[in-house]
Amino acid sequence: MKQKLYEYKDEQNWFIGQCSKENSSTYYQAEAEKNYALLEQNLRSLLGEGSALMLTVVKIASGMALVQFLLDIINNEQQHNYKASSHKGAILVTEEDRLVLVCLPKEGLAVSEFFGEADGNLTALGDSILIATRNEGKTQEFSQMFSKLGMTVENLNQYPELPEVEETGLTFEENARLKAETISKLTGKMVLADDSGLQVDILGGLPGVWSARFSGPDATDQKNNAKLLHELAMVFELKDRSAHFHTTLVVAAPDKESLVVEADWPGYIGMEPKGSNGFGYDPLFIVGESGKTAAELSAQEKNDISHRGQAVKKLMEVFPAWQKAH
């Protein structure tokens, strides 16, 4: 069946186009290609799979006229309802209430001009996520992760007026949800919170959610480690000192079901502290069957295999789809 031939012609513009299943080509009049080729290539991204376009630009004076012509072809051939409008020198393509394409002029546009921002501050644009922590080290870890998704990261130090959320939950997920969902409601922002801890099998999962305050209200890493060794003083076989670190990450946003991911890092509790890297229970936690404690690993080694590192990898796998879902 022969494909329909499309044509648009006025005093300054003349285009001829045809959809094809096999060939894709464009012919331009002299000098037109360098000014309009990028615009046309952007529009081709809206073509469905298996569709090609043969285009002849006999003469052209208006990029908007070319966009309207190409959208007419795509709408007719593929039952879309794309519309074009101009904004500050750019061409926006929409379908119903969705923005599907932004075609910028070849030389680009000033941020302040396009968005109406007086200071043209790029960090004020795009998606951001608030990490429910005041720990700058942890914030930096998440910044590296979310920068790959084009997102900026904030933490609670930028919101000193926010109250401290008490971790009154009995599970890691309950505590992470409390932090993420409470702060999201207070700020209207997307918020990520985590809750992590050590669980020792022979102690029935303790210290668990009380890992940070295991030795009491004035707990320190040293006191917590000393208490753990005391609790295991009569457990002499390493195989009976099995344990794992656990992390739960929760991402909350207004009017969305929260996203939850979890990860565990198995190992054993050693007889004495070893290593000077890490923090918390790292000097006592023997990683799997390696014989090394977490405090004897480099930061990179730990990040690659730890409970938090694994949880972050899981989060990155599911976060983009969750973010797009309504």
Catalytic annotation on 72?
Answer: no
Give burial (CB, 10 Å; 0-12/13-18/19+) of 160.
Answer: exposed
Q: Could you tell me if 191 and 180 are in contact, meaning their C-beta atoms sit under 8 angstroms apart?
A: yes
Answer positive or negative: Cα dihedral of 68, 73, 76, 81: negative
Candidates 10, 119, 127, 195; catalytic one: 195
Catalytic residues: 195
